[in-house]
Structure 1
Amino acid sequence: MSAAPAPTRRLPLVLRNPSFGRVWAGQLLTQAASRMFQVGVVWWLVGFAGGAHRGLASGLFLAVSTLPAVALAPVVARVVARYAHRTVLAGTAAVAGAVAATAAGAAYAGALPVAAAYAVGFVLAACQAVFDPCLTTSVPELVEDADIESATGFELSTQSVAGLCGGLLGPLVVDAGALGGVVAVSAGAYLLAALLVFSARFPGPTTAAGATDGTTQDQAPIPAPAPTPRTLRQVLAGLPFIRRVLVCFAAANVFTTAVYVVMPLYTRQVLHADGSTVASLEAALGAGTLVGSFTGGRLPGRPITVGSACLAVMAAALAGPGLFAGHAAALGSMAVAGWCVGVIGVRFVALFQRLVPTADKPGFFAVMQALLGATFPVSSLVFGALGDHLTARTLCVAQGAGLVPVALALWWLGSRADGAAPRPPAAPTRPLAPAGESR
Structure 2
Amino acid sequence: MNATEPRGRRLPLVLRNSSFGRVWTAQLLTQAAGRMFQVGAVWWLVGFAAGGDQRGLESGLFLLVSTLPAVVLAPVVARVVARHPHRTVLAGAAAVAGAVATAAALTAYAGDLPMAAVYAVGLALASCQALFDPCLTTSVPELVDDADIEAATGFELSTQSMAGLGGGLLGPLAVDAGGLAGVVTTCGLAYLLAAVLVASARFANAGTAGDGRGSTPGGEAATGTRSAGLVEADSGRENAQAPGTAHGTAPARRTLSQVLAGLPFVRRVLVCFAAANLFTTAVYVVMPLYTRGVLHSTGSTVAALEAALGAGTLVGSFTGARVPGRPTTVGSACLALMAMALGLPGLVTTHMVALGSMTVAGWCVGVIGVRFVGLFQRLVPAADKPGFFAVMQALLGATFPVSSLVFGALGDHLTARTLCLAQGAGLVPVAAALWWLGRRTQPDGRRTAPGIAAAHPAPTGEAP
CA separation in 2, counterparts of 1:427 and 1:330? 40
What is the match of residue 292 of structure 1? 316
What is the match of residue 44 of structure 1? 44
Q: 1:133-184 deviations in whole A, cap 9, x for unaligned?
A: 4444555776688877765554443233223221222112212243112111
CA contact (8 A) 1:77 1:362 kept: no
2:339 counterpart of 1:315: yes
Q: CA deviation at 1:121?
A: 0.5
Alignment of 1:118-133 (within 5 A): 118-133=119-134
Q: Which runs of 5+ in 2 are unaligned?
A: 216-248, 459-464
2:424 counterpart of 1:400: yes
Cα RMSD (Å) of the superposition? 3.2
Q: 1:354 to 1:180 in 2, by over 3 A?
A: farther
CA separation in 1, counterparts of 2:144 and 2:334? 29
Of stretches 189-198 and 111-120 in structure 1, the one that deviates more from structure 2 is 189-198
Q: 1:183-207 deviations in whole A, cap 9, x for unaligned?
A: 11112222222333444455xxxxx
CA separation in 1, counterparts of 2:94 and 2:390? 18
2:340 counterpart of 1:340: no
Secondary structure of the 1:264 match is: helix
CA contact (8 A) 1:149 1:350 kept: no
CA separation in 1, counterparts of 2:420 and 2:427? 11
CA separation in 1, counterparts of 2:340 and 2:375? 26
CA contact (8 A) 2:83 2:207 kept: no
CA separation in 1, counterparts of 2:331 and 2:139? 25
What is the match of residue 115 of structure 2? 114
What is the match of residue 218 of structure 1? 206
- TM-score, normalisation: structure 1: 0.82
Q: 1:142 to 1:362 in 2, by over 3 A?
A: farther
Q: 1:22 to 1:252 in 2, by over 3 A?
A: farther
What is the match of residue 354 of structure 2? 330
CA separation in 1, counterparts of 2:457 and 2:110? 53
CA separation in 2, counterparts of 1:424 and 1:20? 35
Alignment of 1:27-426 (within 5 A): 27-49=27-49, 50-137=51-138, 153-200=154-201, 216-218=204-206, 220-222=208-210, 230-352=254-376, 356=380, 360-419=384-443, 420-421=447-448, 424-426=453-455
CA contact (8 A) 2:57 2:409 kept: yes
Q: 1:239-265 deviations in whole A, cap 9, x for unaligned?
A: 444333322221111001111111111
CA separation in 2, counterparts of 1:201 and 1:297? 36
- The percent identity for this pair of structures is 78
Query: Aligned residues, how many?
Result: 412
Q: 1:197 to 1:11 in 2, by over 3 A?
A: same
- TM-score, normalisation: structure 2: 0.78
Q: 1:147 to 1:339 in 2, by over 3 A?
A: farther
Q: 1:11 to 1:292 in 2, by over 3 A?
A: farther
Q: 1:358 to 1:427 in 2, by over 3 A?
A: closer
Q: 1:322-363 deviations in whole A, cap 9, x for unaligned?
A: 121110000001111112222223343445456556665554
